[in-house]
Amino acid sequence: MNDPQQAMASVWRIVRAIPRGATLSYGEVARQAGLPRRARWVAVALKAAPPKLRLPWHRVIGAGGRILFPAGSRAQREQARRLRAEGRDVRGNRVIAVARGPRASDLDAWLWRS
Closer to DNA at the Cβ: 99 or 113? 99
> For DNA, which stretch binds (CB under 7 A), given 63-71, 81-89, 102-110?
63-71
Please enumerate in sequence order all residues whose Cβ is within 8 A of that of 49, keeping only pairs 6 or more positions apart, or say none. 8, 12, 55, 57
Q: How far is the CB of 84 from DNA (least distance, A)?
A: 17
Residue 14 interacting with DNA (CB under 7 A): no
Exactly one of 43, 98, 104, 111 binds DNA (CB under 7 A); which one? 43
A 10 A CB-CB count for 72 gives 8
44 binds DNA (CB under 7 A): yes
| H helix or E strand, kind and range, residue 46 | helix 39-48
